[in-house]
Amino acid sequence: MGWTSSDSRTPRGQRPADPRRSRRRIAAPRRVRRAPAGPAAPGGLEREILRAGAFGQLAICALALGIMPIAYAAVSLPKHLIDLLRMGDGPAGACMLQTRLLQGVALGLAVLALHGAAKYLLNILRIRAAERMRRRLRLRVLRGAGSGGARRQLGPVLTQELEIIGGLASELVATPLLQIGTLAVVLLFLGREHVALAAISGLIVAANIVALRPLQQRASEIARERIGLVRQLNGQLIDLAPIAGVLRDCAALERLRLRHGRIKFLLKLLANLMVGATPLILIGAGGLLAAMGELSLGALVAAVLAQREIGPAVRALIAFENTRIDARARYAKLFPAAPGPQPGPARPPRPARPARPRRAVLRLRLRRPAGG
């Protein structure tokens, strides 16, 4: 028996297709190139801080919120101590008064110690968050600079710029929570004693913001302009620029310093005025309410002591806003966003592939030999 093969569909002059060659090749997957990042959206520094140190910022947030009840107890403590003085009638009352006063003082010392320990831990967490952010930014700057002479100019960047940018990590969550929480605690305490005291304190907060915020922003702008002019002057001195340009920059620097000094001392004047006027206003309004029998003496003293937290909290919030704006400007200048992909010409359509020849079908036919 023998095997023979015949092709009934293969045209003449064409070799039958090899089944191994006619198989389709599996194309390897292409590498997808990621497009460069587009322009940075506002708030890029804040997002990087929250993304890089999410756990630390959550710990800061939890501890800052936990300080608020302790702060309320510390604010209301003088009221309870003074109200105890009205209970000392007779020998038995005097003995009971001494015992309760000692208990109140011990409780007050414990509250103050707990408040100080919580703030200490909060400051430790803030320092860690700031140092981690500075280390992250230093590594990013060093990797981008490469090696060689480019690193010689990184001294001011690593010491000055990153100090301010990385320092925002310690204030981004802690400062708003602490200062707004302090204002909320003071207003809540005064509101529980009398609504008029809370209303007066709210007006004092609004007056601080309206009077101090524009001046503080202007002072920060002049300070940033002065820093840029000082750098320009240093560059001219290094490059041995003409003496006329150096003298013009020196005169401009002198004018900026005089303007900054005037605004700075005006801010100090208004802040001192607010600090001195606030207790007088509260003492006058609280004394009137105490004379009418609507406010106790302990509540009046506690309100006068609590108002001391209003001015520093407002000034800290204004300073935080200016620090955030300054840090964002420095961050955008130090780490500019890569430009987005530019629209290029349209690709020409691919030519159509030629039709594949039809595969030849091999038929096997069994031929029986004669006489077998």
Share of residues in the chain with pLDDT > 70 (%): 72
| 198 within some domain | yes
Q: Is the pLDDT of residue 38 over 60?
A: no
Sign of CA dihedral 236, 241, 247, 251: negative
Residue 100: domain span: 44-145+154-334
| 30 within some domain | no
Tokens of 102: 């000692």
Mean pLDDT, residues 10-20: 52
Question: Regarding predicted confidence, which is higher, 175 or 334?
Answer: 175
Give the whole-angstrom CA distance, residue 111 versus residue 148: 57
Q: At 89, is the pLDDT very low, low, confident or very high (cuts 50, 70, 90)?
A: low
At 354 the pLDDT is 58
| 6 within some domain | no
- Asked if residues 162 and 141 have their Cβ atoms less than 8 Å apart, the reply is yes
Count of structural domains, the chain: 1
Which is nearest to 227 in space by CA: 133, 316, 156? 156
Mean pLDDT, residues 297-304: 84
| 162 within some domain | yes
Render pLDDT for 229-280 as a digit per residue (tens, 0 to 9). 877 777 777 777 777 777 887 888 888 888 888 888 888 888 888 888 888 8
At 35 the pLDDT is 35
CA 259 to chain centre: 30
CATH of the domain at 283: 1.20.1560.10
Q: Which amino acid is at 215?
A: L
What is the pTM assigned to this prediction? Answer: 0.69
| 313 within some domain | yes
Question: Regarding predicted confidence, which is higher, 27 or 84?
Answer: 84
- Asked if residues 320 and 171 have their Cβ atoms less than 8 Å apart, the reply is yes
At 197 the pLDDT is 86
At 216 the pLDDT is 84
- Asked if residues 276 and 199 have their Cβ atoms less than 8 Å apart, the reply is no
At 32 the pLDDT is 37
Mean pLDDT, residues 334-355: 54
Give the whole-angstrom CA distance, residue 304 versus residue 310: 11
Give the lowest-confidence range in 35-49, 230-244, 269-283, 290-304: 35-49
At 58 the pLDDT is 92
User: What DSSP designation does 146 have?
Assistant: -
Give the whole-angstrom CA distance, residue 188 versus residue 306: 11
Residue 42, φ and ψ in degrees, nearest 5: -60, 145
Q: Taking the chain, what is the end-to-end CA distance rounded to the nearest angstrom?
A: 8
| 84 within some domain | yes
Q: How many Cα neighbours within 13 Å face the side chain of 233? A: 16
Q: Is the pLDDT of residue 72 over 80?
A: yes
Q: Is the pLDDT of residue 287 over 70?
A: yes
Mean pLDDT taken over the chain = 76
| 15 within some domain | no
Give the whole-angstrom CA distance, residue 332 versus residue 108: 47
Report how far apart, in Å, the C-alpha atoms of 341 and of each of 210, 266, 334 are: 44, 49, 21
Alpha helices in 146-173 (DSSP H): 155-156, 162-167
| 366 within some domain | no
The residue written with tokens 């700031």 in the block is 130
Q: Is the pLDDT of residue 120 over 90?
A: yes
CA 230 to chain centre: 28
At 146 the pLDDT is 62
Mean pLDDT, residues 78-94: 69
